[in-house]
Structure 1
Amino acid sequence: MTTITINERTKAGKTLLELAKLLAVTNKGVKIEEEESPYNPEFVAEIQKRYADYKSGKSKSITVDPNDIWGSLGLK
């Protein structure tokens, strides 16, 4: 068994992933196992929202208390 890491954000990565999916459907010897993110989806969404606000100028800065990250983001 061989493990291959594919960056799905690149054109080559997308192409290779589509080829692997096609092979997985037509061949029993190819299996795709996608890893689940170890991060809480609510936390990721909040960080992305706040970063988008920062980039668009809606928010001037992002302040996170390292001792209470969840509380700083209003998720506690």
Structure 2
Amino acid sequence: MTTIKINERTKTGKAFMAMFEAFFKGVDGIEIIETDSKKIKKEESPYNPEFVKMILDRDADIKSGKSKCITIDPDDIWGSLGLK
């Protein structure tokens, strides 16, 4: 067995993966085990969903004019965000 590491984020890596899939898809004995693009799914977000919702809601309020920009105190970041 041979392992080839390809950075799918580079132009060359993307081109290689496209060529590989075009020529070798379904060929017996050759398979892609894992790709970076399939490692993290939306359901597996490392962020607390309540925190994300709060930030997105505040961002929407700022964009719609309902609220002004958030002022964050560097000495009390969590308190500034209402998380204390």
Q: TM-score, normalised by structure 1?
A: 0.51
Equivalence for 2:54: 46
After superposition, give the CA deviation of every residue in 1:1-44 in whole Å (9 maximum; x if it has no partner): 223239xxxxxxxxx8xx8xxx7xxx742423227655444333
Q: Does 1:2 align with 2:6?
A: yes
**Larger RCO (alpha carbons 8 Å, 6+ apart):** 1
What number of residue pairs does the alignment pair up? 59
Return 5+ residue gaps in structure 1 as ranges.
7-15
Computed over aligned residues only, the root mean square deviation of the Cα atoms, in angstroms, reads 3.3
Match of 2:40 among 17, 34, 52: 34
Deviation at 1:62, TM superposition (A): 1.6
Question: Which runs of structure 1 show a deviation greater than 6 angstroms over 4 or more consecutive aligned residues?
Answer: none
CA distance in 2: counterparts of 1:54 and 1:60, whole angstroms: 6
Structure 2 unaligned blocks of 5 or more: 11-17
Greater CA radius of gyration, 1 or 2? 2
Q: Which amino acid aligns with 1:29?
A: I
Quick one: distance in 2 between partners of 1:73 and 1:61?
Answer: 12
Distance 2:51 2:75 in 1: 16
CA drift at 1:48? 1.7
